[in-house]
Amino acid sequence: MILIDTHCHLDDSAFDPDREEVLARARMAGVGTLILPGVEPEGIPRVLALAERYRGLYAAVGIHPHVASTFSPQILAQLRAWARHPRVVAIGEIGLDFYRDRSPRPVQREAFRAQLELAGELGLPVIIHEREAHEAIMQELERWIAARPGARGVLHAFSGDPGMARIAVAWGFFLGIGGPLTYPRAEGLWAAVRAVGLDGLVLETDAPYLPPQPYRGRRNEPAYLRDVAEALAQLLGLPVAHIAQQTTANACRLFRIPQGPEGDPVRSLLRDP
Ligand code: NI
């Protein structure tokens, strides 16, 4: 079984004490490929360094809506340069967060639009962070897609309703499904997942955040993606091997990453010579 963790903050200081062991446990659990999204300008070089250092690790570069106030033409130029790095497979995480409102909403929107444009220009998918901003995010994405046919991405930690899920998938987007699927009373998420089926889903942990139910209150890590795959198998009434195969194929297609040796848990996540 080969799983892809499409959203993991392995650069987080929570992993400083035991990053190598975390990667070894991921490999043992069949999680052969990890995508590390960038969040803020200061952290992106660290993400790129990790993606260079280990096989099976890829990076995304973007400015998170929490720190949208730091966005500037200089940062945009820097992102464009970083995005040319051979391990970069997406622009993200970018988006709108009207729950925490850590940056003013108009500023979030401006940074989001500029980064969508950058992704369109470079032909890269986007990794979207969205909280309490369903309507605004769909408006922005609709505009973007109209201007950039073939634009694509993932709605990370999807929290919308089945209607939103269906529209996003019809546009060519995927829903990022992680730990919250395993929580009790996640009926809304279960309904959205059932509405789109396996073709519209990719798996993610968002580690160190959002651990699956058995590990709540503790640090999440990519090995726990197996719990998410198992919860999804149960929800959809499908064998877990089938879940793994399809979500891995979806992630490879979305991020244009090879399904060959890089996705092989035996050969990936080993340090490059
Ligand atoms: Ni994240």
Distance CA 76, CA 57 (A): 24
Distance 139 CA to ligand 1 centre (A): 22
Distance 205 CA to ligand 1 centre (A): 9
Looking at residue 258, its pLDDT comes to: 84
The closest alpha carbon to 182, from 159, 156, 217, 210, belongs to 210
Q: Is residue 273 part of a domain?
A: no
Q: Is residue 13 part of a domain?
A: yes
Distance 206 CA to ligand 1 centre (A): 5
Distance CA 250, CA 104 (A): 34
pLDDT digits (tens, 9 = 90+) for 30-84: 998 999 999 999 999 999 999 999 989 999 999 999 999 999 999 999 999 999 9
Task: State the pTM of this model.
Answer: 0.94
Confidence of residue 265 (pLDDT cuts 50, 70, 90): very low
Q: Is residue 226 part of a domain?
A: yes
Q: Is residue 174 part of a domain?
A: yes
Distance CA 264, CA 257 (A): 12
Element (H, E) at 89: strand 88-97
Cβ-based burial of 147 (10 A; exposed 0-12, middle 13-18, buried ≥19): exposed
By three-state DSSP, how is residue 60 classified?
Answer: strand
What CATH number is attached to the domain comprising 231? Answer: 3.20.20.140
Q: Is residue 225 part of a domain?
A: yes
* Count of structural domains within the chain: 1
Q: Is the pLDDT of residue 93 over 60?
A: yes
Q: Is residue 90 part of a domain?
A: yes
Residues near 181 by beta carbon (within 8 Å), at least 6 away in sequence: 189, 190, 193, 212, 228, 231, 232, 235
Looking at residue 260, its pLDDT comes to: 57
Distance 100 CA to ligand 1 centre (A): 14
Are 38 and 60 contacting, i.e. CB atoms less than 8 angstroms apart? yes
Q: Which domain holds residue 129?
A: 3-268
Amino acid code (one letter) for 223: A
Q: Which of 31-45, 64-78, 157-171, 251-265 has the lowest mean pLDDT?
A: 251-265
Q: Is residue 146 part of a domain?
A: yes
Distance 65 CA to ligand 1 centre (A): 11
Q: Is residue 40 part of a domain?
A: yes
